[in-house]
Amino acid sequence: MPLIELDLLIAFVNSADRHHQAADRIFRKIMAGDIKYVHVASSAYLEYELIHRSFSYLAEDIRKEISSFKNFPNLGEEPLTSKIILDAIKLREAIKGMTYFDSIHASTARLYDGEIISTDPVYDKVNALKRIDPSKI
Domain ranges of the chain: 3-136
CA 51 to chain centre: 13
CATH class, 3-136 region: alpha beta
Question: What number of residues does the chain have?
Answer: 137
Q: What does the pLDDT profile of the chain (137 residues) look like in tens digits?
A: 699 999 999 999 999 999 999 999 999 999 999 998 999 999 999 999 999 999 999 999 999 999 999 999 999 999 999 999 999 999 999 999 999 999 999 999 999 999 999 999 999 999 999 999 999 99
Start-to-end CA span in the chain (Å): 12
130-132/38-41 β-pairing: unpaired
